Amino acid sequence: MAAAVSIQNVHKVYDNIPVVNNLSLNIQAGEIFGLLGPNGAGKSTTIRMLTTLTSPSEGHLVVAGYDVQRQATEVRREIGVVLQQTSVDGDLSVWENMELHGRMHHIPKLQRQRRITQWLDFVELSDRRLDKVKTLSGGMKRRLQIARALLHEPRILFLDEPTVGLDPQTRRRLWEIIQSLNQQGMTILLTTHYMEEVEYLCNRVGILDQGQLIEIGTLTELRYKHGEGLVMTQQGDRWTYKFFPTLQEANQYLEQQPDKTGMMTRPTNLEDIFVELTGRNLD
């Protein structure tokens, strides 16, 4: 089966500075793929290239079976995009924002109105359809962006930091919406700064650092590769981390220490692995 998204040897250079450096990966149809990395790692640039908003300096991008550079119009018909910046028109109503998007995609009137009703109901905004967008909360605006991105029934959804700045309850509701879309068969590429978001949603994760893909796999695969057990030792106001293949081995190591003050063991999580690989926390 052909990949839903294929990135092969892609480079992107701005002012002689490589932002994406020889990136290659495939995203399979029907998976939620998480793209992680510190600020400046190249995540948003990768999304912009895949969604036809900027061209690669080198390399080959295929989305939904179409070459991104040669068949940009066909790619746009197959993708929905939710960028981290709020991009809905605050002076238009919820319905008018959806109507404008539907007309831009040349969706016939009756079909357009049916879909607007369907997707506003899906993101729980039907009761706000006549309200101006500027009166909505941040979470409502993000849900409207998702509904708008789904109006032309894309096969692949790109979400760039979809829950940034939202409160935990709103973030959880968006997770449920994203999961529901995936259960309906939609392929989703997600960038985020929230590790728990990746652990909750994603089938696989790729970690970018300085424009390069430094790790890829499921969380289970990454924990197996880098260690499933961790010994933490407090040194002043900082913690040091020592990885072990299993939690049992981490516990055995701790038991052998003559002074266990400031030491503890626990299972590793994605953030531990991320910091170990990049030397940085997500911020």
pLDDT classification of 281: cutoffs 50, 70, 90? low
Cβ atoms of 61 and 69 within 8 Å: the answer is yes
Q: Average pLDDT for residues 191-210, to the nearest whole number?
A: 91
Tell whether 236 and 211 lie within a shared domain.
no
32 and 90 both lie in a single domain: yes
Residue 132 domain flag: yes
- Domain identity same for 147 and 261: no
Helix then strand then coil, in percent of the chain rounded to 5, is: 40, 30, 35
pTM of the model: 0.89
Domain count, the chain: 2
Using one digit for the tens of pLDDT, what is the confidence trace for 215-233?
A: 999 999 999 999 999 999 9
Instruction: Find the domain containing 240 and state its range.
Output: 228-267
By CB atoms closer than 10 A (0-12, 13-18, 19+), residue 210 is middle
Q: Is 250 found in the same domain as 142? A: no
Residue at 118 is within a domain: yes
- 256 confidence band (pLDDT: 50, 70, 90): very high
Distance CA 27, CA 161 (A): 18
For residue range 51-100, list pLDDT tens digits in order: 999 999 999 999 999 999 999 999 999 999 998 777 889 999 999 999 99
